[in-house]
Structure 1
C-alpha cells in the first residue's frame, strides 16, 4: 500500500470525508468501470489510475483501516496496518474473468465487500448460490487474500412416474438456463439421488462450478406397491375360481401372464411370481399377488338357484371352530 507520501483517498474516489460505506462503494464501482484495463487496453495511465482507486477503496471500505487512516494520515500504514507494496488484487489475470461484472464481484469480495453487490453472475438469477460468495473482511497482515471454501452444489426435486422408475428413461431438464439430458436408471426408488457433475452453481470470476443433485419422488401407482425389491398387488378373483381353482390371466409390469390358482384357496393367500418384481443392481425381486374375493354387485336368477343348491348340500360348517374357540 501507500508506504510513503500522503494520498487523499477521499479525493481519489471523489467523495466527501463524511461519505458512508454505500457512497464509497458506489463511487468505486463507477470509477472502476471507467478505468478498468479491459476498457482501456494499453493505456498505462488508466491502469495506474485503476490501481489507485482500488487502493483507496481497500482502505476506506474497511472500518479499521479507515479509522487509522483518518487518525494517522500518511502514517496510517505504520500504525498497525498492512505491509507496503502494491494494492492486493492488482496482480490478477484479467483474462480469467468472463465479463466485467465477474471481475467487480471478485474485487469487492477481496476488499471485504459482499460478493455480488448488485451485479448478476453465477448459475441462478441474481448470482445466488448455496454457500454465498467470496471471502470478505480484508486481508491478513502481510499476506494476500484467500478465498474461503464455497459450496457450489445445488439440489432439486424431480417427480417421476412409477413406470419411469421401473423401466428407466431419459428426461430433459432446464438447469441454469440450459437444457440437460438426465438418464434415470431402471429401478430407482422414492428418495433416490442422482448426481449431475458440473451442473450446479457457478462461482463468478473463477469458472468453478458445483454439482447438481436430483432428489427423485416416485409417484404412487393405483395397483402396484413397492416393498423393498418386491412388487405387491391385490388380485380380485371370483368365488368359483377360489373354490375350483384354475388358470387366470393377469397383468404384470412385464405384460400379460397366466397364474395358476390352486383349488380351495382362501382369500388373502399370496401367489409368488419369482423374478418379476422390482429391478435392482443384483437382478429382479419377486411379484406377490394377494387374492381377494370379488363379489358381484348382483346375481342372476340362475346363479342364485345354484347358490341355493350349494347351501342345501354344503357339509362344512364355516364357523364351527370359531364358535368353539370364542366361548369364554
Structure 2
C-alpha cells in the first residue's frame, strides 16, 4: 500500500484513537455482521466494506501493529520493514471471494466469534511436544500421544477453535491402550489411546476441532477419566492395592498370591509384619508413557482376624493369650496429659 493510500482504520471502525481493545472488538463485531457477504448476497459494495473493516480490525487488534500505526501514520508499513500486510490474500488468510462454509455454525454470532479468534481477538494456546523415543511424533501430536497440559498458556481471552470431550476408560483399556470410535458431529473418527492413560491424561487429536470461515480448524482434546477398579487404585504413578492376611501369617510370615496387571505373583510376607505396612513390587505398576517403563505396585497388608472360630481355633487362641510374653501396649504406660 502506498503512503498516499493511507486509510484511517479508526474512522473505518467508527472509534476514537483512544478506544480500548474491547471497544475495537465490539465495533468490528457490529460492522462485520452488517457487511458480511453472507448477509448481503451479491452486494459488491458490502463485500468491499467487509474487507476494509476486517483489514482495520486486524491492524488495530494487535498491540504491536497498532503502536506502529499510531506512531508512524501513513508510513507505518515502511517502519515495519515494508511489504504487503496481506501477502496478496484477503484479511486473515481468507480466500479471495470470501467463500465461507457458513452452514457449520449454529448462528451468525458463532461465526463472528470464530472470526475474532482467527484475527487476533481470540485465545491462543501454546503447545509443546514431548518426545518419548526416537520414533517421532504420533498423529495425536506427541511421541507419547499425551498432551503435556501442565504447561499450557493462553493469551487474550476469547473464543478457541479447539473442542474438549471427556473419555471414560476401564483400567484394562487404559493400561493396554485401546482404539475408540467417536462421534464428532456427523463424523465418526477412530482414535488410538496409547497405553498408560490415567485420569487427568489428555490426548490431542489434530484437526478435529471447530472450523472458521478461513479454512482453519482447531484440535480435539480428550480428557481421560478412569472408571474405578475394585482392587487397584493410584498413589501418584504407582498402583496401590490392599491384601488381607490372617493373624498367624502376620506373626509367622507367609507366601501369598497377589494380583498384578500382568497376572498373579507370589509375594513373601515377612514375619511380624504390621497391619497397614506396604510391600513394594518393583516394576509391576502402571505404564509410564513418557519413559516406556513401569511404576511400582504397592501392596498394603491388612491383618484380618477371623469372624468365626472353630472350637480348636478358639482353644489355640486362648492358649496363645495365656502364654503370650509380649504386651503390644507397653509403650502406652505412664502416658497422661
Q: TM-score, normalised by structure 1?
A: 0.59
Structure 1 residue 276, shift from structure 2 partner: 0.7
CA contact (8 A) 2:260 2:285 kept: no
Structure 1 residue 188, shift from structure 2 partner: 1.9
Q: 1:171 and 2:161 equivalent? A: no
Change in Cα spacing, 1:220 to 1:301, as seen in structure 2 (3 Å) is same
Residue 295 of structure 2 is matched in structure 1 by 285
The one-character-per-residue Cα deviations of 1:264-321 (angstroms, maximum 9, x if unpaired) are: 2221211111111121132111111111111222112221111111112212222222
Structure 1 residue 179, shift from structure 2 partner: 1.2
Q: 1:189 and 2:198 equivalent? A: yes
Change in Cα spacing, 1:231 to 1:148, as seen in structure 2 (3 Å) is closer
CA contact (8 A) 1:130 1:152 kept: no
Residue 133 of structure 1 is matched in structure 2 by 114
CA contact (8 A) 2:40 2:46 kept: no
Residue 209 of structure 2 is matched in structure 1 by 200
The one-character-per-residue Cα deviations of 1:44-73 (angstroms, maximum 9, x if unpaired) are: xxxxxx4xx33268779x9xxxxxxxxxxx
Unaligned runs of 5+ in 1: 1-20, 33-49, 63-88, 104-118, 136-145
Q: 1:245 and 2:228 equivalent? A: no
CA contact (8 A) 1:201 1:209 kept: yes
- For the pair shown, the structure with the greater C-alpha radius of gyration is 1
Structure 1 residue 164, shift from structure 2 partner: 2.2
* Number of positions where the alignment pairs a residue of Structure 1 with one of Structure 2: 228
Residue 226 of structure 1 is matched in structure 2 by 234
Residue 82 of structure 1 is matched in structure 2 by none
The alignment's C-alpha RMSD in Å is 3.7
Question: Within 5 A, what are the aligned runs for 1:1-328?
Answer: 32=41, 50=42, 53-55=43-45, 93=96, 97=99, 102=100, 120-122=103-105, 125=106, 132-134=113-115, 147=119, 151-204=160-213, 206-280=214-288, 281-282=290-291, 283-324=293-334, 326-327=335-336
Change in Cα spacing, 1:152 to 1:306, as seen in structure 2 (3 Å) is same
